[in-house]
Amino acid sequence: MIERKPRLLAIANEVTKGGYPVDVGTDHGYLPAYLVKQGIVSRALAADIGEGPLLAAKQHIEALSLSDRIELRLCDGLTGIDLSDKTDIIIAGLGGETIAEILLRRHPLSQTLLLQPMTKVETLRRFLLEHGYRIEKEIPAYEEKKAYTIIKARYDGVIRKGDALFFTFGALPQSEKKEKYLYFQSLLSRLEKKQKGLQKAQTQERTELDRLAILIAKAKEYLQEEIYDHHSGNL
């Protein structure tokens, strides 16, 4: 199950030990089941908007005899969930905009946020900074030939002004994990694809092309640093 999902394992590593997490969009319920089974936490809440996914989670949790320690909840985002005793909010596998909307509806949140967006990562980073959440770190993960980032953030009320570089790369350059190399590679090919598209369309959007050129140069720079590290045996 989760053993074959490095993305979820990377999240599990960051959950508050002995805490009480909520997993929003739990689907099969693998993550809360793993957290309780491994003794990382003693209880968890698994929530999903879909009846089908929640039924799958119920079956998985029952099969592991964890029903007394994992509560299931059919709801949209964090709607109706008592957060007063919760330590972590996990939202993985949803789009960045949807994650931001879910957080906004219960803003501000004092729990540790563990967020893994599938799309619109830049939008989510911007949302966090502009709403007083500090991005403590990002953990890159590589699963089924795709690179992901897991954002760990906490509310401190300080509104930060990010720039295009931060919204694009986030705190990944500071990560020690070698998977960030794969993340930068996929980011670079996405940026280059966008650049080609704009060039082909002979767009007049000079500012956007200039912006892309800077981001592409930065991505290459990060990749070079990684290659250098690799050759010097630091990976």
Cβ proximity to ligand SAM: between 26 and 168 the closer is: 26
Q: How many CB atoms lie within 10 A of CB 50?
A: 13
- Can you give the chain as a three-state secondary structure string? CHHHCHHHHHHHHHCCCCCCEEEECCCCCHHHHHHHHCCCCCCEEEEECCHHHHHHHHHHHHHCCCCCCEEEEECCCCCCCCCCCCCEEEEEEECHHHHHHHHHCCCCCCCEEEEEECCCHHHHHHHHHHCCEEEEEEEEEEECCEEEEEEEEEECCCCCCCCHHHHHHCCHHHCCCCHHHHHHHHHHHHHHHHHHHHHHCCCCCHHHHHHHHHHHHHHHHHHHHHHHHHHCCCC
Q: Which residue stretch of 93-101, 133-141, 189-197, 198-206 sits at the interface with ligand SAM (rule: CB under 6 A)?
A: 93-101
Would you say 40 or 49 has its CB closer to ligand SAM?
49
Q: Which of 1, 49, 81, 223 binds ligand SAM (CB under 6 A)?
A: 49
Identify which of residues 78 and 172 has a Cβ nearer to ligand SAM in the complex: 78
Selected from 21, 27, 113, 141, the binder of ligand SAM by CB under 6 A is 27
The interface region with ligand SAM, picked from 36-44, 90-98, 137-145, 202-210 by CB under 6 A, is 90-98
Q: Does the footprint of ligand SAM cover residue 25 (CB under 6 A)?
A: yes
32 counts as binding ligand SAM under rule CB under 6 A: no
The rounded radius of gyration (Å) of the Cα atoms in the chain is 19
Q: State yes or no: residue 88 binds ligand SAM (CB under 6 A).
A: no
Give the residue from 210, 206, 218 showing the smallest Cα distance to 170.
218
Is 80 an interacting residue with respect to ligand SAM (CB under 6 A)?
A: no
Site stretch for ligand SAM (CB under 6 A), options 81-89, 94-102, 143-151, 175-183: 94-102
Report how many residues bind ligand SAM under the rule CB under 6 A: 17
Q: How far is the CB of 79 from ligand SAM (least distance, A)?
A: 8
Q: Does 77 bind ligand SAM (CB under 6 A)?
A: yes
Q: Given the rule CB under 6 A, which of 87-95, 121-129, 197-205, 211-219 is the region that contacts ligand SAM?
A: 87-95
Note the residues at the interface with ligand SAM (CB under 6 A): 8, 24-27, 47-50, 53, 76-77, 92-94, 98, 102
